[in-house]
Structure 1
Amino acid sequence: MKIIQLNLIISSIILIASLGCSTNSTKEGNIEIIEVDGHEGFISIFNGQSLDGWEGDTVYWRVENGILTGEITPETILNNNTFLIWEGGELADFELKLEFKISESGNSGINYRSERFQELPYALRGYQADIDGKNSYTGQNYEERKRTTLAYRGQKTEIQPQDPPGELRDHVERNAWKGLLVVENLGDRDSLKNLIQAEDWNSMHLIIKENVLQHFVNGVLMSEVVDNDPINRSSKGLLGVQVHVGPPMKVEFRNIFLKEN
Structure 2
Amino acid sequence: MYKNSRTVSKYLAGSFIALLLLAYVQSCKEKKQEATVDTVVKILEEGDGFVNIFDGETLTGWKGDPNYWRVENGALVGEVTPETLLKSNTFIIWQGGQPDDFELKLEFKIAESGNSGINYRSDLIDTIPNAMKGYQADIDGKRRYTGQNYEEKKRATLAYRGEKVTINSQDTPDVEGSLRANVKSNCWQSREVVGSLGESDSLKTKIKSEDWNEVHLIIKGNRLQHYINGVLMSDVNDEDTINRKLKGYLGVQVHVGPPMKVEYRNIRLKNL
Q: What's the TM-score once normalised by structure 1's chain length?
A: 0.85
Match of 1:123 in 2: 131
Q: CA deviation at 1:163?
A: 4.5
Q: Which moved more, 1:239-248 or 1:161-170?
A: 161-170
Larger radius of gyration: 2
Residue pairs, 1:212-231, within 5 angstroms:
212-231=223-242
Residue pairs, 1:8-47, within 5 angstroms:
38-39=45-46, 40-47=48-55
CA-to-partner distance for each residue in 1:35-76, whole Å, 9 max, x for gaps?
A: xx9332100000010000000000000001111000000110
Q: What is the root-mean-square deviation of aligned Cα atoms in Å?
A: 1.2
Moved over 6 A (4+): none
Q: Tell me if the contact between 1:162 and 1:171 (Cα under 8 Å) persists in the aligned partners.
A: no
Match of 1:169 in 2: 180
Match of 1:59 among 67, 74, 77: 67
Match of 1:179 in 2: 190
Alpha-carbon distance change, 251 to 164 in structure 1, aligned in 2, over 3 angstroms: closer
**Higher percent of residues as helix:** 2
1:239 match: secondary structure: strand
Give the Cα–Cα distance (whole angstroms) in 1 for the partners of residues 227 and 89 of structure 2: 24
Give the Cα–Cα distance (whole angstroms) in 2 for the partners of residues 96 and 48 of structure 1: 16
Match of 2:146 among 129, 138, 141: 138
Structure 2 counterpart of 1:238, which letter? Y
1:38 match: secondary structure: helix
Query: Which structure 1 segments of 5+ residues have no match?
Result: 1-36
Q: Tell me if the contact between 1:48 and 1:67 (Cα under 8 Å) persists in the aligned partners.
A: yes
Q: What's the TM-score once normalised by structure 2's chain length?
A: 0.81
Q: How many residues align?
A: 225
Structure 1 counterpart of 2:45, which letter? G
CA-to-partner distance for each residue in 1:152-180, whole Å, 9 max, x for gaps?
A: 00001000122467810011111000011
Percentage identity across paired residues of the two chains: 65
Query: Which structure 2 segments of 5+ residues have no match?
Result: 1-43
Q: Tell me if the contact between 2:100 and 2:248 (Cα under 8 Å) persists in the aligned partners.
A: yes
Q: Tell me if the contact between 2:163 and 2:235 (Cα under 8 Å) persists in the aligned partners.
A: yes
Give the Cα–Cα distance (whole angstroms) in 1 for the partners of residues 158 and 49 of structure 2: 29
Q: Tell me if the contact between 2:227 and 2:234 (Cα under 8 Å) persists in the aligned partners.
A: yes
Give the Cα–Cα distance (whole angstroms) in 2 for the partners of residues 189 and 240 of structure 1: 26
Q: CA deviation at 1:247?
A: 0.2
**Higher percent of residues as strand:** 1
